[in-house]
Structure 1
Amino acid sequence: MLSILKTELTDFCELSSVRANINKAYHELESQNYDKVIQICDISIVECEKIKGKAVTLEKEEIANSMFVASAYCKVLKYYSRYWLKLVEGKFKDSWVVLQDTIDNLISVTKFTENHSEFGIREFNSHLNELEKLYPYSIFASSEMVIETKECSICGKSVLDIDCIHIPGNLYWGQIAVTICKDIVFQAVALVKHPMDKRCVMEVSGDNRTEKEKFKLLHYFVENNTNPLKLFTVTELDKYYYNEKYDMVKRNEPCPCNSGKKFKKCCGAIKYERGSHFHIKLENDISLRPLPFSSMLLGS
């Protein structure tokens, strides 16, 4: 549906303003002017809503739906800029939630765009997945609940009502149909690795590490990369590390790991400890900027 941004429609000349603003947003993002990107995207989102309202009035459902996707695309750039503001400020913990906001909007764009090679969608998805790997989060909380009432966000009827023709997740006149849950009874909280919503992070109590120690990968990434549009990859490898705390331990002394065994029959038999090693590779010649989109906007 984003392909509508490539077209010129007589009744919707406002599309040219959205195209120009998105192009400006990418230019400002390349220059790390994040506040400016947010401002431009806010203007574009308002423009998309106006065009969507006009499309509904003229009974052009396809255009109305396309404006929902275009607005979500602008929100991706907006939240991604907010994300980098958090990184620059060193607020790594707060940045995780903003990253999830970016991912949520990109999911909407991806779902309703047929050609993922256009507009940098495929690259953006891959890029955000790599950013998630830089965080020390692996366990999340997921709620278990009983839902008594489910209503359609479009017609307000029960989703079980035969008169409700709307399918959750589909677009109708520029609005996405969702299920509104009411009369919720929470049962339990489960610890999971791959929840739909990763905002509720579980952390180990008593962890006295500093923020820099907890987010050492992210800290390294920010120090060595100031371009928010530069692609990169994260590879996790197994590596053996020599533990210096064993240097002063004698063979017949109790093992420092508190196993109760002698050092020679426990950790003394292992000179190195196994651990994870992360390799971050910056793709110097590859940019996140979608070339077909930028060239189209520039009129070439």
Structure 2
Amino acid sequence: MLNYFHERQTIPEVSAICSQLDTLKHRIMSGNYENPRKEYDECKDLFDAVKQQAIGNDDEQLANAQLIYKHYFQLFCDLSAYFRLLEEHKYKSSWNILQDCFDEIKFVGKFLAIDARKELPDLYELLENYETLYPYKVFVSSEYIISKSHCSICGNSMQSLACPHIKGNLYYGDIAIEIIDEIQEFQAACLVSHPEDKRCIIELADDNRSEAEKFEKLDQFLTLSLPHLQKFSIETVMETRERNDIIKVGRNHLCSCGSGIKFKKCCGKNLFYQHERNIITPKGIVIFE
């Protein structure tokens, strides 16, 4: 659908949209992340114009293509916003924007043939690597019973014969979504490692560490100053290291800390610790098409 939309540049609005996206892509590749939505805001009304023109001409393919291209455009807005937050060391805020990027890639990719996904696979791989740099490993996922919902297009229940739409399909530039009106029962909140939505994170209420301390792995990675679009791999190695804040004495001697206990039963038990060493291997740069 991206190619179909791009090939319709004889339509002035389509040509203007494609030109604005090219400008945004070039800004990102040059490292300029100021005002991430500037180009999109200047042409967002053009998407509506293309949609209405397509509906008027009974061209459902163009109407659907403009929706996919709109989300494709928004992906690069989110990507620019994400890189900007990284440079501003706003790591906690960057997490949700990172998840927005994943959502846009998945949504757009769903409607494209594998060989027509342009730079999406490379971007997804790159962002997956960034995701591993965050401390979040466990998330909250809720379970509930829906008692009432309706179709976003026709307003009828999607379980009824009155609704002809299939959830997730496109219809003249709109996607059929099941909108929840009423939840009968909230059943559970589960701790999971691979939820559908990773935005519901778990944090300690009294964690007063700085942003750099909480996101130490990500913060240290950024000190390498690799281009944000450079792919990379991470190999994590656990090493046993000796603490340098403990004065060693004989195992059966009194501990150097002054506790009056033998060293082997006091500080000697904590003489070694496990250190995580991360080996970063740079790979190729993601090139926008």
By how many angstroms is 1:212 displaced? 1.2
- Equivalent pair of 2:40/2:77 in contact (CA under 8 Å): yes
Shift in CA distance, 36/262, structure 1 to aligned 2, threshold 3 Å:
same
By how many angstroms is 1:137 displaced? 0.5
The AA in structure 1 aligned to 2:16 is: S
Q: How does 1:1-300 map to 2 (within 5 A)?
A: 1-8=1-8, 10=10, 12-116=11-115, 118-184=117-183, 185-225=185-225, 227-245=227-245, 247-248=247-248, 251=251, 264=264, 268=268, 272-283=272-283, 286-290=284-288, 293=289
Shift in CA distance, 9/209, structure 1 to aligned 2, threshold 3 Å:
closer
- Equivalent pair of 1:240/1:274 in contact (CA under 8 Å): yes
By how many angstroms is 1:268 displaced? 4.9
By how many angstroms is 1:124 displaced? 0.9
- C-alpha RMSD of matched pairs (Å): 2.8
What percentage of aligned pairs have identical amino acids?
34
- SS of the residue corresponding to residue 34 of structure 1 reads coil
By how many angstroms is 1:50 displaced? 2.0
Q: Aligned equivalents of 1:122 and 1:147: distance in 2? A: 35
The AA in structure 2 aligned to 1:125 is: Y
TM-score after normalising by structure 1:
0.83
The AA in structure 1 aligned to 2:285 is: S
- Equivalent pair of 2:140/2:191 in contact (CA under 8 Å): yes
Q: Aligned equivalents of 1:68 and 1:282: distance in 2? A: 35
CA shift digits 1:193-247 (9 cap, x unpaired): 1111111111235444332122122212333236332222233333333333554
Identify unmatched segments of 5+ residues in structure 1: 256-260, 294-300
TM-score after normalising by structure 2:
0.86
Shift in CA distance, 9/81, structure 1 to aligned 2, threshold 3 Å:
closer
Q: Aligned equivalents of 2:70 and 2:163: distance in 1? A: 26
Equivalenced residues, count: 283
Identify unmatched segments of 5+ residues in structure 2: 256-260
Which sits farther off after the overlay, 37-46 or 125-134? 37-46
